[in-house]
Structure 1
Amino acid sequence: MSSPSSNPHASAWMRTPERSNMAMLRVMTWISLRLGRPAGRVVLHFIAAYFLLFAPASRRASKAYLRRALGRPVTWADLYRHFFSFAATIHDRIYLINQRFDLFDIEIQGQAALHDARAGDDGLFLIGAHMGSFEVIRALGRQIPGLHVSMVMHEDNAMKINAMLAAINPQASTDIIGLGRIDSMLRVRDKLNQGAMVGMLADRSIGDDALLPTPLLGGVAYLPTGSFRMAALLRRRVVFMVGLYLGGNRYQINFEPLADFSQTPAGQRGAEVEAAVQRYAALLDQYARQAPYNWFNFFDFWQAPAAVSDTQPK
């Protein structure tokens, strides 16, 4: 197995300038909630076209990813569909946060895997990616009694999400645990002990997270290990979750068993974490090929980080 490498530099996705504008978000929220979802979706076509034409770095990254996922040359129509799918999931977040689940056709697959992992009283980790919409998990509350999900993310992102929620719905509440605090691990442990699910998106590294070179979509991806190391340290089960956008008002939520660290001896954690990352990469590969326009990594995801590339032969 390949050994993890450290990543002392800020990740490309964290260095990418934040293009979202709170004023525009408020305008979109007003249009969407006052004029309805069809009117809001008309605006999405202009937004997708704007980014396609005037965000060359994101366009290049989209093309590099889609070439792998589609296994063929990428057209402008493919690029537009990728950008539009991203805009659509962000737009639908407005309705999901406002609990307008009646507007959507949401299919759930693999619910038995989630039920089996929740058999005990302890909580578990739900690990996903920046693929589709994590927000659709809110709809599960209608079908799974007592479901509670706490999201774990970088502190800066947690602040942005809270600001976004306030812009969409001042009464909306979400349980976000920011990483980087002294008590972050303790808060995660407490939530798990209360039987909650702890959600994390594990496809992007956060600064100094250790990375594991892993086969993905015919290449090598450098995936962070932090989410899995946390699950192993806290001895919890892990379930993979993805909410795929299928077009129109259709979503498909998929659950897959990923790892079980509940009985892992301390001496075997490293090997089990690497196995979990590789299983995670295999699931990303599967769903990226199944729904290629759903993975929203608009940066050079395949570039080796400096700490790794500096050690490669010239």
Structure 2
Amino acid sequence: MKHTNADTSAVDRAAARHGNWAKAPERSNMLALRIISWIALTCGRPVARLVLHPISLYFLLFSPTPRRHIRRYLERAVGPRAGWGDGYKLLHAFSSTVLDRLYFMRGRLDLFDVKVRGYAQVETEAFEGRGALLLGAHLGSFEVLGACKHRSPDRHNLRLAMLMYPDNAQRITEILNAIAVPEARPHVIALGRPHSMLELRDWLDNGGVAGLLADRTLPGSDEQPAQQRGNNIDLPFLGQPARFNDGPFRLASLLRRKVYFMAGLYEGGARYDVRFEPLADFSERVADPAERERRIRAAVEAYVLRLEALCREFPYNWFNFHDFWLEDPH
């Protein structure tokens, strides 16, 4: 099929919308967040979870654009039979993980049944002073990774940082930071800043571990270093080409670090399954540019395959409510 200039322009505009999620306004109300936080911390988790049902139903009924994107995703992850009930399950799982953030940030891991798999290899990289990059997705909960600090008497020394765009969720971040106990609050390295890479390098050199959610195309800016912007790659994902960015892998290659896939999967109730799996090893210098590009491409493809497998295994855990496949008309 022949593509016209208009077709190309439409794709570029769609891609721009795809990358603007970091500047999208929050769909949250400060008073409502404070009320829910008060209920959670005063009345306890069982009572607070009752509030999640009307909240989930409200967003399912009165948020048509996110609902459209949820439907498209579920039809691919669950199948054509996916309907309103599946959308409600996903929103309830999402609101459950948001609520549980309050308790994780308060250090209340005693309320949860958390399984941790594959963490020993990440711990070794950290405690031997090499550091490691953890690449996850908007899949389950990142905050549950704090449970890894309590697996042995020495693991309280684990230094965990989160690479993120802090402007995208200022309200809920403000609430969480206000209630968090110091030992449960992750260090944040802000992306999109000129000094971000240097700060990350120093953090890793001191034996820290840094996590990044890599399932969204990174917002482009000429002020950002090229290794943070990366290149967009279209890869098959749940039966349809989707756009992923290789910036996180270029960063790992530049800093010469090992990369692990991470996921804090929500299994319902108070159960979480935290998984770490080796994804790529960039610790050795590669002089040949073509070979370096091949390794980066292979790492992105491995990441997408792992994400796809988990989306099929835990379809109600992936929380992307924007036009991921660029299907909305201009």
**Fold in common (TM above 0.5):** yes
Residue 200 (structure 1) aligned with residue 221 (structure 2): no
Residue 261 (structure 1) aligned with residue 273 (structure 2): no
- Residue pairs, 1:72-221, within 5 angstroms: 72-115=80-123, 117-118=125-126, 120-144=128-152, 145=155, 146-157=157-168, 159-160=170-171, 162-169=173-180, 173-208=185-220, 209=229, 210-221=231-242
Higher mean alpha-carbon deviation, 204-213 vs 292-301, is at 204-213
SS in 2 for 1:9: helix
Mapped partners of 2:300, 2:160: distance in 1: 22
Taking every aligned residue pair, what percent have the same amino acid on both sides?
44
Inter-CA distance 177–161: structure 2 relative to 1 (3 Å threshold): farther
TM-score, with length taken from structure 2: 0.85
- Residue pairs, 1:280-299, within 5 angstroms: 280-299=303-322
Matched AA of 1:21: N
Point out where structure 2 has 5 or more consecutive residues left out of the alignment. Answer: 1-10, 221-228
Q: Is the 8 A contact 1:117 1:239 kept in 2?
A: no
1:133-163 deviation line (CA, Å, top 9, x unaligned): 0110011110151221111112424755641
Matched AA of 1:166: N
Mapped partners of 2:181, 2:143: distance in 1: 17
Mapped partners of 2:49, 2:190: distance in 1: 32
Mapped partners of 1:163, 1:216: distance in 2: 34
Mapped partners of 2:20, 2:64: distance in 1: 15
Mapped partners of 2:172, 2:283: distance in 1: 31
Q: CA deviation at 1:115?
A: 4.5
Mapped partners of 1:180, 1:63: distance in 2: 31
Matched AA of 2:41: L
Q: CA deviation at 1:165?
A: 2.2
> Which of 4, 12, 16 is equivalent to 1:9?
16
Higher mean alpha-carbon deviation, 187-196 vs 154-163, is at 154-163
Report the aligned-residue RMSD.
2.4
Mapped partners of 2:77, 2:310: distance in 1: 10
Inter-CA distance 198–6: structure 2 relative to 1 (3 Å threshold): farther
Partner of residue 312, structure 1: none
What number of residue pairs does the alignment pair up? 303
> Which of 229, 243, 248 is equivalent to 1:222?
243
1:276-301 deviation line (CA, Å, top 9, x unaligned): 11000000011001100000011111
Residue 51 (structure 1) aligned with residue 59 (structure 2): yes
Q: Which has the higher helix share?
A: 2
Inter-CA distance 73–17: structure 2 relative to 1 (3 Å threshold): farther
Matched AA of 2:192: G
Q: CA deviation at 1:25?
A: 1.3
Inter-CA distance 184–214: structure 2 relative to 1 (3 Å threshold): same
Q: CA deviation at 1:9?
A: 2.6
Point out where structure 1 has 5 or more consecutive residues left out of the alignment. Answer: 310-314
Inter-CA distance 272–89: structure 2 relative to 1 (3 Å threshold): same
Moved over 3 A (4+): 5-8, 14-17, 115-120, 157-162, 166-173
1:113-146 deviation line (CA, Å, top 9, x unaligned): 4356557421010110000001100111101512
Mapped partners of 1:212, 1:294: distance in 2: 24
